[in-house]
Amino acid sequence: MPAALTASQRRRLIAAARKAAAAAYAPYSRFPVGAAVLMADGRVFSGCNVENASFGLTNCAERTAVFSAVAAGSRRLRAVAVFTPTPAPTLPCGACRQVLHEFGPEAQVLSVCAGAGQVETPLAALLPHAFGPGDL
């Protein structure tokens, strides 16, 4: 069981996720999303959604953030914060849950939005009975 996030880690992650949304490339959906990941080594990486004229090639903010961390040599995910431009918080899509599971099966997921409210839940509650590296 990883240690609970501190209030300052939460604040830092949420601020990074909100800021990352400003860089979103979302001309088709007009739905800018930002994400930030806290890694076990203490580093924070952020990402935004990156859409494509061939819509199915879109990369969600959460995956952009995770891929940035991995590309920088950081692989153990402790927590992810997601910001969506919605009145209520929303949680990562199924594809992103699977990618988050690969690097942080015990990660915490925080969701914040343009409106009020915040959700925090373990990833394991969002992706029960997950398929992962140990199944191969």
Q: Which parts of this chain interact with ligand THU (CB under 6 A)?
A: 26, 29, 31, 33, 49, 51, 58, 60-62, 82, 92-93, 96
Q: Quick one: which of 63, 109, 116, 121 has its CA closest to 86?
A: 116
The one-letter amino acid code at 73 reads: G
49 with 60: CB under 8 angstroms?
A: yes
Is-catalytic flag, 102? no
Q: Specify the residue, 47 or 78, whose C-beta has the smaller distance to ligand THU.
A: 47
Residue with Cβ nearer ligand THU (62 or 66): 62
Cβ of residue 58: shortest distance to ligand THU, in angstroms? 5
Q: Is the CB of 4 or the CB of 85 nearer to ligand THU?
A: 85
d(CA 54, CA 125): 32
